[in-house]
Structure 1
Amino acid sequence: MQETKRQKQIGQLVQEELSGIFQRMGFNVVDGGMISIAAVKMTPDLLEAKVYLSMFQIKSPTEMLERIKERMGEIKKALGLRVGKQLRRMPELSIFLDDTLDYVFKMEELFKKIKEDDANIKDSGANKDTK
């Protein structure tokens, strides 16, 4: 189902504010890796927000997700202070890992391997012609 304009606006607002909160809490750069908020999807009633986190070069993304969930009370409080005047009710936050980046890297590796295999096949075919 297509998101309404209001869902998109609130999702964008929550995403921007959460990015600032994560930066202040030190979650944006952790152990040489980076965490960013890839997307926020709102339910039609605007009472739930699905927050998708993208983690780059984080050793254990699931462990990091647990660390973030442990501090959810603090995150929700900070978000409530920032968006409380613009929303009637604070949305319930659900956090998920966004594996789009992993998928992109995996696809790039597959394409690179296919290209190398094609080059090897062409090279072996050229060698047969010269013999």
Structure 2
Amino acid sequence: MQETKRQKQVAQLVQEEMSSIFQRMGLNVVNGGMISISSVKMTPDLLEARIYLSLFKIPDQVAMLNSIKERGGEIRKELGNRMAKQLRRIPYLAFFVDDTLDYVFKMEEIFKKINDDEKKD
């Protein structure tokens, strides 16, 4: 199903505010690794924001994701303070790990291996 224009606008606004909140809370750089918000998808009723996090050089991604989920209420409250004038209802936050970067690295490694095998023949 296609995202509506309003869903895209709210998702963009939430992404910008969440990036700012993560920086302020010190969640963007943790244990020598980096956390960034790769994308935000809104449900059609705008009551849930699915936030996809890119975790770079974070050794235990599951523990980090659980830590962020535990602070979800605090993050949502901060989001509500910042977006109270733009939205009637502040969306619930659902956090997911965005593994597209890992997928890209894996694909590059496979292509490199194929290339090396072709050069040997």
Per the TM superposition, whether the score is higher than 0.5 is yes
Secondary structure at the counterpart of residue 27 of structure 1: coil
TM-score, length-scaled by structure 1: 0.90
- Quick one: distance in 1 between partners of 2:73 and 2:48? 15
Give how far 1:100 is off.
0.5
SS of 1:82's equivalent in the other structure is helix
Q: How many residues align?
A: 121
Query: What SS is found at the alignment partner of 2:87?
Result: coil
Gaps of 5+ in 1: 122-131
Q: Secondary structure at the match of 2:20?
A: helix
- 1:73 pairs with 2:69: no
CA shift digits 1:25-80 (9 cap, x unpaired): 11111111111101110111111111100111110111100111111111011000
Partner of 1:3: 3
| Cα RMSD, aligned residues only | 0.7
Gaps of 5+ in 2: none
**Which runs of at least 4 in structure 1 moved beyond 2 Å after TM superposition?**
none
Spell out the pairing of 1:20-39 with structure 2 (5 A cutoff). 20-39=20-39
Match of 1:84 in 2: 84
Question: Which residue does the alignment assign to 2:119?
Answer: 119
Counterparts of 2:21 and 2:52 in 1: how far apart (Å)?
Answer: 15
**Residue 98 (structure 1) shift:** 0.5
- Which amino acid in the other structure matches residue 85 of structure 2? K
Tell me whether 1:45 sits opposite 2:73 in the alignment.
no
Answer with 1 or 2: which has the greater Rg: 1
